[in-house]
Amino acid sequence: MNLVICCGLQKAYLNPKGSRYLGEKADILDIRLKSYFKSLNLQENVVYLVREIHQPDDSFFLNKKSGSLVGSDDIEIPEFYRAYSKLVFNIMRYNAFYQTPLDSEIYKLKPRTVTVIGVETHTTILFTAEELRNRGYNVVVIEPLVTSNDDYLHNIGITLLHNFLTVNIQQAG
């Protein structure tokens, strides 16, 4: 069994009305992700979704002006992605392990490989992959299936994932 962790597949990033909409990057990512999901063998892969949710007074994100606030449309995950997911984890920080049951769920699953895809290569993808590597998992990031709001930061994220965390960076899903 393999695990796919999808970060940030929510309206804040993917919807033109989202507070953190990534524009053309979101549109391209959405097309690529839908193709990937349609080709995914769910007998061999389990999918977990990770989404940002913040309280209005969350001081950690006040400077970021996150719109992924509790009760807002920004936190909604499009039904297409929900249909593939076994679990959804709500995160308050860039690391999908922080104050979530992700660690125990992965431990129960015992995946051969964990693939991390989605939004914000330089934060959520990077810090989640780092925690997975710290726990000894074989981690893959499929570069065409990750993006960031900033190309420079995306490239730094990919470099850190590959050169320092020894994450397997793939060019195709």
Domain boundaries, the chain: 2-170
* pLDDT per residue as tens digits for the range 53-86: 887 777 766 665 566 878 788 899 999 999 999 9
- Looking at CATH, the fold of the domain delimited by 2-170 is given as Rossmann fold (3.40.50)
CA distance 123 to 132: 14
* pLDDT per residue as tens digits for the range 134-170: 999 999 999 999 999 999 999 999 999 999 999 999 9
Where does residue 73 rank: exposed (0-12), middle (13-18), buried (19+ CB within 10 A)?
A: middle
* pLDDT per residue as tens digits for the range 116-144: 999 999 999 999 999 999 999 999 999 99
CA distance 133 to 78: 29
